[in-house]
């Protein structure tokens, strides 16, 4: 059986989701438009922004590129 995640993991996931939402809104994009740009469904974008799921590194790289921001802005 796997150990449960440390308490800080869900908090960081929520912070990253918030950074994605803020950057997407600053770029003037909807979840649908961002999803189209990175090849993901808008429901997936919503799950990331609401910390229900975590984007993997490839997704984070695609998001940063689509928004024209450094990867570090999403994971700071």
Domain locations in the chain? 8-75
What is the pTM for the complete model shown? 0.91
The DSSP letter of residue 27 is: T
14-56 pLDDT tens trace: 999 999 999 999 999 999 999 999 999 999 999 999 999 999 9
What distances in angstroms separate CA 53 from CA 14, 20, 67, one per listed residue?
A: 9, 13, 20
The domain 8-75 is placed in CATH, from the list 1.10.260.40, 3.40.50.2300, 3.60.20.30, 1.10.1060.10, at 1.10.260.40
SS3 state of residue 1: coil
If one counts every other C-beta atom within 10 angstroms of the C-beta of residue 60, the result is: 19
């Amino acid at each position: 059986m796997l150990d449960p995640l440390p308490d800080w993991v869900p908090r960081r996931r929520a912070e990253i989701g918030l950074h994605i939402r803020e950057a997407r809104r600053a770029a003037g994009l909807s979840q649908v438009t961002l999803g189209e740009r990175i090849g993901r469904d808008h429901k997936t974008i919503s799950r990331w922004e609401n910390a229900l799921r975590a984007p993997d590194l490839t997704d984070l790289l695609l998001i940063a590129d689509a928004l024209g921001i450094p990867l570090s802005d999403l994971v700071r």
